[in-house]
Structure 1
Amino acid sequence: MVATAEREALERRLDVLVGEWVLEADFPGLEAPPGRCVFEWTLDGRFLVQRTEAPSPAPASLSVIAVDPDTGGYTQHYYDSRGVVRVYAMTFADGVWQLLREKPDFSPLAFRQRYVGRLGEDGDTISGAWERGPADGSGEWERDFGLTYRRRGR
């Protein structure tokens, strides 16, 4: 179990995400309008909620991020407008945000997924991409689509 001070430090590390962001997606062969994303603390700062109005063709989603007491990392519980429910292991350290799904959870694992984003020096841009790989762990990660977050109104 993560000690209280360590838990609070892990929660504070996510403060950089709090606020409103414009989403720019780079889908191969498609021109997508920008989307919107808001991160905000809830339940006395114990959970970080992410609400996303995604650029088409991606679905709208809601995610709840919590400190994972077993790993000292984070867990992101993801829900979207298609009815998809997934759980991602998440890290956010040294300006790198990573979401990783490599095992079945509330839905079968047809493929592995990960998002790797890098926080810009100004703290107002996260540039990254979603990647996918074979469910059995063989083969390389392949780019699915790029996803950039740009902070709005700061």
Structure 2
Amino acid sequence: MEASIDGQSMGRSTAMFTWHDSRGFLIMHVDPPQAIARQWQESSPFPIDAAIGLDDHSGAFAMLYADARGVCRIYRMSFEDGHWEMWGQAGPGFHQRFEATVRGDGRLVTGRWEASDDGESWKPDFDVTYAQR
């Protein structure tokens, strides 16, 4: 996994996606990078853990997210035809969304996180790439 801002790498890390024993949740764990860009050192979220699940009644996906800063969030999520989206509101005046494309046989995912004060005007936060070795 690599995160970048304006084409500059903020850090590379190992991200693991594994099925929970129940097969009802996809678990994501992202290790801290070996090296991290100076502008990310104070606000680094690593390590990151998340659980993705599906409500079999409504067909709605959700991601439960937690990171090293003590941030815990719930994102609504959709995944269809190789297009992955997540969105949520972490509090008044703080909206987030993620949009990614899953390429080929799932070995490459390229996406971008964006932020908004009002949920209408969006600005880039950072890009992320997941690539299977």
- Normalised by the length of structure 1, the TM-score is 0.72
Instruction: Give unpaired runs (5+ residues) of structure 2.
Output: none
Aligned CA RMSD, in angstroms, stands at 2.0
Letter in 2 for 1:86: R
Query: Given the alignment of the two structures, is residue 84 of structure 1 paired with residue 82 of structure 2, yes or no?
Result: no
Q: Hey, what does 1:143 align to over in structure 2?
A: 124
Distance (whole Å) between structure 2 residues aligned to residue 131 and residue 69 of structure 1: 29
Letter in 1 for 2:31: E
Q: 1:109 to 1:73 in 2, by over 3 A?
A: same
Instruction: Give unpaired runs (5+ residues) of structure 1.
Output: 1-22
Q: Which has the higher helix share?
A: 1
Query: Given the alignment of the two structures, is residue 45 of structure 1 paired with residue 32 of structure 2, yes or no?
Result: no
Distance (whole Å) between structure 2 residues aligned to residue 109 and residue 36 of structure 1: 32
Q: Hey, what does 1:18 align to over in structure 2?
A: none
Letter in 2 for 1:118: T
Distance (whole Å) between structure 2 residues aligned to residue 88 and residue 39 of structure 1: 17
Q: Hey, what does 1:25 align to over in structure 2?
A: 3
SS in structure 2 opposite 1:66? strand
Q: Give the drift of 1:44.
A: 1.8
Q: Hey, what does 1:130 align to over in structure 2?
A: 113
Q: 1:93 to 1:79 in 2, by over 3 A?
A: same
Contact 2:98 2:113 in 1 (8 A): yes
Q: Which has the higher strand share?
A: 2
Query: 4+ residue stretches of structure 1 with deviation over 4 A?
Result: none
- Normalised by the length of structure 2, the TM-score is 0.82
Q: Hey, what does 1:36 align to over in structure 2?
A: 14
Letter in 2 for 1:47: F
Q: 1:93 to 1:54 in 2, by over 3 A?
A: farther
Distance (whole Å) between structure 2 residues aligned to residue 25 and residue 83 of structure 1: 20
Q: Give the drift of 1:114.
A: 0.8
Query: Given the alignment of the two structures, is residue 71 of structure 1 paired with residue 52 of structure 2, yes or no?
Result: no
